[in-house]
Amino acid sequence: MSEKKLERSLGLWDVLMFGVGGVVGAGIYAIIGQAADLGGNMLWLSFVIAALVALLTGLSYAEFVSRFPDAGGSFEYIKQGLGHKTALFMSIFMSFTGVVAAGAIAISFAEYLGRLLDLPASISVIGIILLMAFFNIIGSKYSSYYNSFATIVTLLGLALVIGVSLPDFGSKNLLETPEKGWIGIIAGGALIFFSYVGFEDLVKMAEETKSPKKNMPLAVIISGLSVLVIYVLIAISAVSVMDWQELAGSSGPLAAVIETKLGNVGATILVFVALFATSKTILSNILGTSRLLYDVARDSDINWLKKFTTISGIGNAPNYAIFAVALVTMAFGLIGNLKTVASISNIFIFIVFGMVNIALINFRRKNKDSQEEKPYFFIPLNIKNIPVPTILALVSLLILLGFNIYNLVQGKL
């Protein structure tokens, strides 16, 4: 077995772009229309609810990564708080969160590409997954270059949506209660949560980050707050330009917003942006899940898993883990459906986020009398060393999980 280790080649800017890029991904392009059907003109509040719930859990990730800058991410944190057996069991949920979401987003990529080229969807799905796996294989630094470029393109696309919509700001009553009332607003937040799961992948870059105990918590919090502002502006832009009913009925909602203002040329530009957005999300998911598999294999006594700890190739990356994740992602991409799989991914991520919060509470409880120096980031507002924001995170996750199930039962997905 190779004794090579992951190289610390990423600075704060790199991981911040991974954080923003991991969250500002495919979800906003695919889900916003269906969320508008639930939240109506108050779609922006659905985004705020989802963002705040995600940020509460982001605080737990920030403290854990400040204590344990490990490539395993959630796996390592649950192991530290609840034990190795629990973490090993939960790694199944974590892995499926990454590969199922990446497979579904590959389908979304194929749909966007189909607007430009007459290619079979299966070819597009396999091709984009292989390409993103290749970027991972040649190393995290090159993955970072592509991710940073794609993130900038994605943000420019969203800036274009906001820019052309500014003259319409104030034209709609953004406080008008939707037909489904508060149930619709919160259910919209539960659906949108698919767009906020980037924290899970970001912290897995800790072993490849310089000064991770400081830079990683900063990246988690800054990226979360940045995305909150961007998404709220996008939501306001979308319902200002189009009636929420039209937005809900559109197969490409943001492209439809641009088309209203700039015609077919603008819509085509946004299709290209969507291709970058979806591809970089696949990149991040493959990267994060491969690092999880690497860490699980490293901590496991199962012999056949040890192959996934091999660091090799020009990128000094866990290539066997990347290849395995890419294969499973292809399987889901070839049989999955974006809408349905997004809801399934939400359920997985609610469970994983919930367990990370429970792990932090238990870790704090077990170490309340410890004289260890506090980590760089330590969640404030504590009662007997138990962080109140983490309790709020658990409660809010349970509420959104319930509404996510409501969405499935009501057939919204």
Is 7 within a domain? Answer: no
Q: Does residue 131 carry a pLDDT above 70? A: yes
Mean pLDDT along residues 62-82 = 91
Domains in the chain: how many in total?
1
Residue with tokens 């994060």, as numbered in its chain:
288
What pLDDT, on the 0 to 100 scale, is given for residue 167?
95
More confident residue, 209 or 358: 358
Phi then psi dihedrals of residue 114, to 5 deg? -65, -20
Is 348 within a domain? Answer: yes
What pLDDT, on the 0 to 100 scale, is given for residue 371?
62
Is 28 within a domain? Answer: yes
Phi then psi dihedrals of residue 331, to 5 deg? -60, -45
Residue range 213-256, pLDDT digits in tens: 999 999 999 998 998 999 999 999 999 999 999 998 876 788 88
Of the pLDDT bands very low, low, confident and very high (cuts 50, 70, 90), residue 400 is very high
The CA-atom distances, in angstroms, between 245 and each of 33, 55, 187, 241 are 9, 29, 17, 12
Structural domain for 332, as ranges: 12-368+376-409
- pLDDT > 70 in the chain, percent: 92
Is 6 within a domain? Answer: no
d(CA 379, CA 196): 20
DSSP codes of every residue in 101-164: HHHHHHHHHHHHHTTTS---HHHHHHHHHHHHHHHHHT-HHHHHHHHHHHHHHHHHHHHHHHHH
Is 70 within a domain? Answer: yes
Count helices and strands (H / E) in the chain.
15, 2
Lowest mean pLDDT among 61-65, 295-299, 339-343, 373-377: 339-343
Sign of CA dihedral 198, 402, 72, 392: positive
What pLDDT, on the 0 to 100 scale, is given for residue 6?
65
Query: Which CATH number does the domain housing residue 163 bear?
Result: 1.20.1740.10
Is 249 within a domain? Answer: yes
Contact 115, 272 (CB under 8 A): no
d(CA 298, CA 8): 18
DSSP codes of every residue in 349-405: HHHHHHHHHHHHHHHHHHTTT--PPPPSS----EETTEEHHHHHHHHHHHHHHHHHH
What pLDDT, on the 0 to 100 scale, is given for residue 1?
40
What pLDDT, on the 0 to 100 scale, is given for residue 77?
95
What pLDDT, on the 0 to 100 scale, is given for residue 313?
64
d(CA 123, CA 182): 42
Strand ranges (DSSP E) for 259-300? none
Residue range 173-198, pLDDT digits in tens: 999 999 889 999 999 999 888 777 76
Residue with tokens 């439809």, as numbered in its chain:
256
Is 214 within a domain? Answer: yes
Is 2 within a domain? Answer: no
